[in-house]
Structure 1
């Protein structure tokens, strides 16, 4: 696979697809032959921990920024692997295993790992703000008995006795008795008295309700971010 220098640099981290277009992983490292042409890549598949599966660039191609190899995903993922970040060239045993695995004709000289362009990954923190529910107290309804004074009036009746003296005249003398002696007459008297009775009646319903109130709460926090400074000798700096 003949690539330009820019394409070689762009291989690092690019997605790797199998012949059907399914994603296998991403490019971790690149190896070149004696002439400096890239011949192998390691693929980070995400299933082998700190190891990366090897894949040949024979028959591979670049399409829309992705590296497409002429093998299926299972073949690449089951290929011999190297440790992530290794700087060692592929030895004879590794090459023999790779050529057997992919059924390729073995080259005479082992390929060398191609270093990528120096780079740093700059990271920064993002503030994620959310809410969570927590207890804010308990509202209760409780009733108790209190005693209060009540003042009122009620009308009561009673009999009062008056002595009425009526003179005996010629007109009413026929009904009067002239007997002299002791005699007594009685009259029943009636009087009302105030009495107190109590009854219990419902007078009011009391219940609790709640409403959700949304308010803006200010949040002050700190986030970190990385700054990258390039220390380049004066003679090597690009003039603008």
Structure 2
């Protein structure tokens, strides 16, 4: 159970749902005007934390710098939108939140009186206001101010296609190959008287020698030389986006000049 003495340490704590999933950080704490016990906290959710949602503290507990609540993250994100800057909730707003979260309105202490709202303690230095110092919201005239905000996201689109294709080209190559051939070399040797055998005859004669030579022979074969693969990789880069947004501004046109400035 979260008590009034623990309120100061709640600001900025991380809020986790019943499944242990992080919801956001505590922005404001709403306390019961009669009992002084904290009953709601606001948590920033949505894109860039631009939405402030109410989270009930019933069955919640604190563990270090973490607040664990008994509802789911999806419930918080889809909770009814309430004005988190008004200081007090009306009874109708209070009951709407209880119905949404499935909490019995009369089951919580001090929740039966219809004139009571929830007191907000926005910062650690803020002083707690007494119910008598707060104007009744039910009797006030109010206007909701809205504004547009850029929602930034990404989508995947096709930017092109890459194909691998091979084709045949012809190129001229020149290779030096060593070849051998036979040549005739004449060798002359004089004959002496001692080497002479028989008688010599004069006449025609013929001897034949076969010569050989190597010649280059060209043939071709196909061999694999390389594998080429095509793979995709994701590269992240920063791009600036811009756009025009509109917002509403509220002006007070008071001809009576009796408007009282409120903090």
Report the alpha carbon displacement of residue 14 of structure 1 after superposing the two structures with TM. Answer: 4.5
CA offset digits 1:59-99 (Å, max 9, x no partner): x7439749xxxxxxxxxxxxxxxxxxxxxxxxxxxxxxxxx
2:258 to 214, 236, 239: 236
- CA distance in 1 between partners of 2:184 and 2:201 (Å): 26
Please say if 1:208 is aligned against 2:230.
Answer: yes
- Taking the aligned partners of 2:115 and 2:199, their CA distance within structure 1 comes to 150
Q: Which residue of 2 aligns with 1:62?
A: 114
Do the aligned residues in 2 keep the contact of 1:124 with 1:225 (CA within 8 Å)? yes
Within-5 A mapping of 1:16-165: 21-22=103-104, 61-62=113-114, 65=117, 117-165=140-188
Structure 2 unaligned residues grouped into runs of 5+: 1-88, 106-111, 119-137
Q: What does residue 47 of structure 1 align with?
A: none
Identify if the C-alpha distance between structure 1 residues 193 and 206 changes in structure 2 by more than 3 Å, giving closer, same or farther. Answer: same
Which residue number corresponds to residue 197 of structure 1? 219
Output the CA distance in 2 between the equivalents of 1:63 and 1:119.
Answer: 18
The answer on whether the counterparts of 1:159 and 1:189 sit within 8 Å (CA) in structure 2 is yes
Task: Please give the alpha-carbon distance, in whole angstroms, between the structure 1 residues aligned to 2:261 and 2:236.
Answer: 56
> What is the TM-score normalised by the length of structure 1?
0.51
Matched residue, 1:224: 246
Q: Deviations over 1:149-181 (max 9, x none)?
A: 22221111111112333332213212x662333
Counterpart for residue 77 of structure 1: none
**1:173 aligns to what?**
196
Shift in Å at residue 120 of structure 1? 1.9
Shift of residue 145, structure 1, vs aligned partner = 1.9
Could you give the per-residue CA deviations for residues 27-79 of structure 1, whole angstroms, max 9, x where no partner exists? xxxxxxxxxxxxxxxxxxxxxxxxxxxxxxxxx7439749xxxxxxxxxxxxx
Equivalent pairs counted in the alignment come to: 146
> C-alpha separation between the residues in 2 aligned to 1:137 and 1:206?
20
Rounded to whole Å, the distance in 1 between the matches of 2:220 and 2:209 is: 35
Task: Confirm or deny: 8 A CA contact 1:159 1:191 kept in the other structure.
Answer: yes
CA distance in 2, matches of 1:229, 1:179: 147
For the residues of structure 2 that align with 1:182 and 1:239, how far apart are their CA atoms?
148
Match of 1:183 in 2: 205
Q: Secondary structure at the match of 2:114?
A: strand
Q: Distance in 2 between matches of 1:10 and 1:167?
A: 142
Q: Which runs of 5+ in 1 are unaligned?
A: 1-8, 24-59, 67-114
Does structure 1 retain, via aligned residues, the 8 Å contact 2:146–2:247? yes
Report the alpha carbon displacement of residue 141 of structure 1 after superposing the two structures with TM: 2.0
Aligned twin of 2:26: none
**How many Å apart are 1:12 and its aligned residue?**
5.5
CA offset digits 1:93-114 (Å, max 9, x no partner): xxxxxxxxxxxxxxxxxxxxxx
**For the residues of structure 2 that align with 1:239 and 1:173, how far apart are their CA atoms?**
152
Matched-pair contact (CA < 8 Å) for 1:158–1:191 = yes
Change (3 A) 1:146 1:239: closer
